[in-house]
Structure 1
Amino acid sequence: MFANLIIYRIAPQWSATLDQVEQALAKAPFAECGATQEKSAGWVPPRGEAHGALAEAVGGQWMLRFMAETKVLPGSALARKVKEKAARIEQETGRKPGKKETKELKDETRLDLLPMALTKQASMWVWIDPAARLLVLDTSSQGRADEVVTLLVEALPGLSVSLLHTQTSPQAAMAHWLKEQEPPVGFTVDRECELKSADESKAVVRYARHPLDIEEVQAHIDAGKLPTRLALTWDDRVSFVLTSELQLRKVQFLDTVFEGTKADDGGFDADVAIATGELVKLIPDVAEALGGETGGQ
């Protein structure tokens, strides 16, 4: 739960009850792809129980789960079948199909193959903190995040969100921390980093499992390369990789988070409580380390 975070701020004018969110999501439940349907998407019960609630509350935190299913249709198989049909037409009529007819053949072949295609499912955790006005999506893909946010905005009247934005860009802050060897208060720099040149060369240098307090890293920054990713640990409790887009990736909760819990303390409620309990403190600290939020937050 929560391996990658894309973080949004909910505008202050929006308010809703959990029941209202449940009713809105119930209008767009997930259903598997039909025989000739390439993609299907919708909401599933976060607890994984059939016919369960689509919006769950744990300690004031709201959890949703988005599911998408796509049919995998290899381009090579599609092209081969289209070629076979075109060859058959040429053999029977003595002419090659034109551009319009070839497109129609492709569409027809796609429909023929879809019922036999393999399906691939992917789900995404969606967390709403109504008190802190946060919307957090567990994905590293901005495109997939945009798709889910659009569906939420359409489903929930008055909902307006914007990506978390800070006074200092993550790239500028990460460059300063590496160059001066001064991580922000409460954070430590770990052993993973990516530096990218801003010029036409687009040169990239990556460090993995490597100390970053070395002159070589500072020389790269002096030469104009800027950090696009930097591994950090917060308060000896959560490790993650900060990106230049202000995403948190590879989120891991460290052993100190689980001290005092028992081996059988797992389950949905415990997982949500632990994860959101840490992240609701981490996210403001990340924003503060980047000069605070813009827009008077």
Structure 2
Amino acid sequence: MWFKNIQVFKCSSPLALNTEQLQEQLNEHRFQPCKSIETYRLGWVFPAATSDQLLHASNKKILLCLRRQEKVIPAAVVNEILKERVEELELKDHRKVGRKEKLNIKEDILTEMTPKAFAKSSYTWGYVDLANQWVIVDAASSKKAEEFLDLLRQTIGSLPVIPLNTEVTPTTLMTHWLNDISSRPAGLALNGQCELRSDLDEGSVIRCKQQELDAEDVLAHLQAGKQVTKLAIDWQERVQCILNEDLSIKRLRFGDDLLEEAQDSYADEDPMTRLDADFTLMTLELQRFLHELIEWLGGEHQSH
């Protein structure tokens, strides 16, 4: 359950949730398998196998899990059938099949194949942090995060959130860190990976992996006007990740000490005990890290 990527959203107006009421609302949007003619379905599922609720609450944080089931229809198969049908029509009617007619034929093929297609599922985790008024989603893409937020919005009726925004842009801060060793906060280390981009030339991108980022050849790119858009960082040997220019966090990993602490906190393999321990420790650590990150970035942006 440990998150691997996070996108942080801030409530633009106070959000209060009652867990009993929320459980009833979640039940109304509980996951149901795709019907034969549906291409996909979304819904909430139990966070643990032994759970009897569609949420897990701890320290004013509410964990949810979205399941997406979609029919798998290989594009190559559809295109092959489409090609065969178009060729048959053109041969039979002695004419050229137009683009619009091809699209109609393709839609017919998809309608025929959908009831027979295999279904696959994917899961998106996220939690509402009522104390900090955040919604944090384990998603590598904004599209996947928005899917989670949209279903939560439908579930509770309203969800006034915006992407977390700070006074200083991540690009400005990461460039400063790379350019000036003394500017790096205590407990922060660079992890040998970054992406540099020039504002003047969108096609000019330098990607460094497993390199000494303080080397002269890397710093020369900064002197030439490039800025840091991605940077691998290590915070207190407890959180490692790649910080992106949009404040999203990718390839999130937690330190061995923290993972061992989680394992030591439960003596058996009961899924709910394990979930509670993992969720509590992960969210507390993320809270500490995010507070420091926001402070480094000059605090949350205040709209005037």
TM-score, normalized by the shorter chain, greater than 0.5 = yes
* CA-to-aligned-CA distance 1:19-41 (integer Å, 9 cap, x gap): 22222222222222222321211
In the TM superposition, residue 154 of structure 1 has moved relative to its aligned partner by 3.0
CA distance 1:150–1:82, shift in 2 (3 Å) = same
Deviation sequence 1:266-286 (CA, Å, 0-9, x none) = 711111011111011111111
Q: How far 1:115 sits from its partner (Å)?
A: 3.0
Q: How many residues are paired up? A: 295
Query: Counterpart amino acid of 2:104?
Result: E
Alignment-mate amino acid for residue 56 of structure 1: H
Superposition deviation, residue 172 in structure 1: 0.5
Cα displacement string for residues 20-67 of structure 1 (whole angstroms, at most 9, x for unaligned residues): 2222222222222222321211111111347x3111113332100011
Whole-Å separation in 2 of the counterparts to 1:30 and 1:18: 19
Following superposition, the deviation at residue 263 of structure 1 comes to 4.9
Q: What do the CA deviations read for 1:187-228 (whole angstroms, capped 9, x no partner)?
A: 222211111222235222222222212122211111122111
CA contact (8 A) 1:14 1:158 kept: no
Correspondence for 1:249: 250
| Whole-angstrom CA distance in 2 between matches of 1:97 and 1:229 | 48
Aligned 8 A contact 2:62 2:127 in 1? yes
Residue 211 of structure 2: aligned partner: 210
Tell me the secondary structure at the aligned position of residue 26 of structure 1: helix
Unaligned runs of 5+ in 2: none
Matches of 2:78 and 2:9, distance apart in 1? 40
Tell me if 1:70 matches 2:77: no
Instruction: Give distance in 1, aligned partners of 2:283 and 2:108.
Output: 48
The Cα RMSD (Å) is 2.2
Q: How does 1:256-267 map to 2 (within 5 A)?
A: 256-258=257-259, 260=261, 262-263=263-264, 265=266, 267=274
The secondary structure found in structure 2 opposite 1:276 is helix
> TM-score if structure 2 supplies the norm length?
0.89
Q: Aligned ranges for residues 144-155 of structure 1 at < 5 Å?
A: 144-155=144-155
Shift of 1:136: 0.1
Q: Is the 8 A contact 1:65 1:126 kept in 2?
A: yes
Match of 1:45 in 2: 46
Alignment of structure 1 residues 184-203 onto 2, 5 Å = 184-200=185-201, 202-203=203-204
DSSP 3-state at the match of 1:132? coil
> What displacement does 1:104 show?
2.3
1:123-171 Cα offsets, whole Å, 9 max, x none, are 1111111112111000110111122212222322443111111110000
In structure 2, what is the equivalent of residue 162 of structure 1? Answer: 162
Farther off after superposition, 95-104 or 236-245: 95-104
Contact 2:192 2:211 in 1 (8 A): yes
Identity %: 29
Query: Where does 1:248-287 land on structure 2 (aligned, <5 Å)?
Result: 248-258=249-259, 260=261, 262-263=263-264, 265=266, 267-287=274-294
CA contact (8 A) 1:171 1:226 kept: yes
- The aligned residue for residue 293 of structure 1 is 300
CA spacing shift, 1:259–1:99, aligned 2, 3 Å = closer
> In structure 1, the residue corresponding to 2:57 is in which secondary structure?
strand
Structure 1: where are the runs of 5+ without partners? none
Amino acid aligned to 2:16? S
Alignment of 1:83-102 (within 5 A): 83-102=83-102
Q: 1: distance between equivalents of 2:206 and 2:112?
A: 46
* Alpha-carbon distance between aligned partners in 2 of 1:74 and 1:143, rounded to the nearest angstrom: 21
Whole-Å Cα distance in 1 between the matches of residues 166 and 202 of structure 2? 29
Residues in 1 aligned to 2:191 and 2:98: alpha-carbon distance in whole angstroms: 59
Which segment drifts farther, 14-23 or 168-177? 14-23
In structure 2, do the counterparts of structure 1 residues 14 and 264 end up closer, same or farther at CA, with 3 Å as the change threshold? Answer: closer
- Contact 1:65 1:125 (8 Å CA) reproduced: yes
For residue 179 of structure 1, what is the aligned residue in structure 2? 179
Separation of aligned partners in 1, 2:280 and 2:106: 50
Output the TM-score relative to the length of structure 1: 0.91
